[in-house]
Amino acid sequence: GAGVSQTPSNKVTEKGKYVELRCDPISGHTALYWYRQSLGQGPEFLIYFQGTGAADDSGLPNDRFFAVRPEGSVSTLKIQRTERGDSAVYLCASSWGGGATDTQYFGPGTRLTVL
Amino acid sequence: GDSVTQMEGPVTLSEEAFLTINCTYTATGYPSLFWYVQYPGEGLQLLLKATKADDKGSNKGFEATYRKETTSFHLEKGSVQVSDSAVYFCALRSGGSNYKLTFGKGTLLTVNP
């Protein structure tokens, strides 16, 4: 079946612009996660959704970052007033539930470059 | 807080060589431990996992044993193949927030024919 998909695969923007990154989870998965992977680093947690609500947004670096999941499926990560330091690969993952035994399945990521 | 330390790369081996990638962790409680792999141009994939002390995870010839006494989860494979060339990430999920994965920095493995 279809895995987690993310669009766009690459996004180049200018400093100060607004961007939206989209994630389509595996059908039926109630849990959705966003991670950010900077060059040479492992992924870092940003936010976790259970259904439509953000159960934990403690990893969002500041208030320029926001994510939604209005119907409990597709999620959009929104970044306002982008900065060069926001350049990274943004990964989305989904799992059946949010429990400790649930495997997280990752999408291919969106590479964001802020010029 | 939770953290994962894995051996620095890159690691370059010849085909059929023995592989070890070290991973140690710091976590509250009793975490679950994972190895993820990222092949070139692909997303992260779960390679194996272990959820309690002394458990051994295994998949595709790779193994790792959850060692609570040394807080380690080293990845091993007896005979690597060119197709194993990838970036390997050690990760944990702790009981306090058991939905959140904490990753190491990753180790790039290149296997030459």
pLDDT in tens, B21-30: 999 999 988 8
How far apart are the CA of B80 and the nearest CA of chain A, in angstroms?
Answer: 23
In this structure, what are the phi and psi dihedrals at residue A54, rounded to the nearest 5 degrees? -80, 105
**Rounded Cα distance, A58 and B41, in Å:** 29
Res. B96: pLDDT tops 80: no
Please check whether residue B29 touches A, CB under 8 A: no
Three-state SS at B96: helix
CB B102 within 8 A of CB B4: yes
**pLDDT (mean) for A2-25:** 96
Strand B11-14 with A75-79, pairing: unpaired
Cβ separation of A91 and B45 shorter than 8 Å? no
The percent of residues above 70 in pLDDT, for chain B, comes to 96
The contact set of A with B (CB < 8 A) is 3-4, 31, 33, 35, 40-45, 48, 55-56, 59, 91, 93, 95, 98-101, 103-109
The reply to whether residue A48 touches residue B44, judged by beta carbons under 8 angstroms, is no
At residue B71, the pLDDT reads 95
Residues sharing a CB contact under 8 Å with residue B85, sequence separation 6 or more, in sequence order: B39, B40, B109, B110, B111
- The mean pLDDT of B30-46, rounded to a whole number, is 91
Does the beta carbon of B106 lie under 8 angstroms from any beta carbon of chain A? yes
Q: B-chain residues within 8 Å CB-CB of A44?
A: 103
Distance CA B53, CA B66 (A): 5
Q: Number of A to B CB contacts under 8 A, please give it.
A: 63
